[in-house]
């Protein structure tokens, strides 16, 4: 297929490359020249604006940060809609509120496009490998049209219903767990360091014991390495846990743990760490306790 991949960030870059490997003709879209160069070096074509994609593009994979960016890339003044083939399929993977997903789907349908509400998980490693998990909702015809794209980027596609917004609802629920797990992993590591334990040994014990989680194993490895490269940034969880709190208010379901975790991410961002890897929410604990992280003098 002739595919546009909008957003060449940590996960978008990998997903775009996975589409290339699957044999699709892929145009990557990103305002960042370094991201475009990286994709071109991998064999793709890259443009700075969604309005610059090839005429007649049949599918769009959207991996922007939020709903506002997705809307601008699709339907804004510099959006890709006028360049799309009739009946093109929009696979929108940005994390957003369910109401935003429903509104985007309605606008896409009104313009004659197919819309798949398709948030993803798995991180940059899974994106590059084409093994992301997709939590999607939309009519059967949309899944059929999106199958060549989904087959290239995902190892598992969950069909959560025909109504747009169910995929977004699942992703927001998932991000509650992800954000709380990262925050509590940082809390445990900070406590261990403050109490005098060797952080490398703590990591070894926990990852081989019942208290382990995927987030502890993945994110605390970044802390041990002192690697603040933002595979997923602190600011992402300020946004995503905000979506959790908003959805919880809407349906009147308490989320006290998510609220506590959000305040820790907000604290880390306020200290200037918002652009760093989300594992470095641990710097909020460092500010309170004065601990030295691995690699620090």
Catalytic residues: 171
CA-angle at 103, arms to 100 and 107, nearest 5°: 140
Which of 66, 55, 86, 64 is closest to 5 using CA atoms?
Answer: 64
Do strands 57-62 and 2-6 pair parallel, antiparallel, or not at all (unpaired)? parallel
Which of 27, 31, 35, 87 is closest to 61 using CA atoms?
Answer: 27
Q: How far apart are CA 23 and CA 13, in angstroms?
A: 16
Residue 44 burial by Cβ neighbours in a 10 Å radius (0-12, 13-18, 19+): buried
């Amino acid at each position: 297929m002739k595919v546009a991949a909008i957003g060449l960030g940590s996960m978008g870059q990998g997903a775009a490359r996975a589409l290339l490997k699957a044999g699709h003709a892929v145009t990557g879209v990103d305002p960042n020249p370094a991201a475009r160069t990286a994709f071109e070096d991998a064999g793709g074509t890259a443009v700075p604006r969604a309005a610059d994609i090839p005429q007649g593009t049949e599918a769009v994979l959207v991996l922007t940060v939020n709903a506002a960016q997705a809307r601008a890339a699709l339907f804004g003044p510099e959006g890709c809609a006028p360049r799309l083939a009739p009946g093109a399929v929009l696979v929108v993977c940005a994390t957003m509120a369910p109401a935003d997903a429903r509104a985007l789907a309605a606008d896409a349908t009104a313009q004659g496009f197919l819309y798949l509400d398709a948030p993803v998980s798995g991180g940059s490693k899974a994106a590059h490998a084409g093994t992301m998990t997709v939590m999607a909702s939309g009519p059967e015809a949309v899944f059929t049209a999106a199958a060549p794209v989904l087959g290239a980027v995902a190892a598992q596609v969950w069909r959560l219903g025909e109504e747009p917004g169910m995929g977004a609802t699942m992703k927001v629920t998932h991000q509650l767990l992800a954000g709380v797990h990262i925050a509590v992993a940082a809390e445990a590591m900070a406590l261990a360091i403050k109490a005098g334990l060797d952080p490398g040994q703590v990591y070894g014990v926990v990852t081989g014991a019942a208290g382990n989680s995927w987030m502890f194993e993945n994110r605390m490895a970044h802390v041990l390495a002192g690697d603040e490269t933002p595979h997923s940034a602190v600011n992402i969880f300020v946004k995503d846990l905000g979506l959790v709190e908003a959805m919880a208010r809407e349906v009147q379901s308490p989320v006290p743990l998510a609220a506590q975790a959000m305040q820790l991410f907000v604290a880390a961002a306020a200290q200037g760490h918002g652009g760093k890897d989300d594992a470095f929410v641990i710097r909020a604990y460092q500010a309170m306790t004065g601990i030295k992280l691995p690699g620090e003098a």
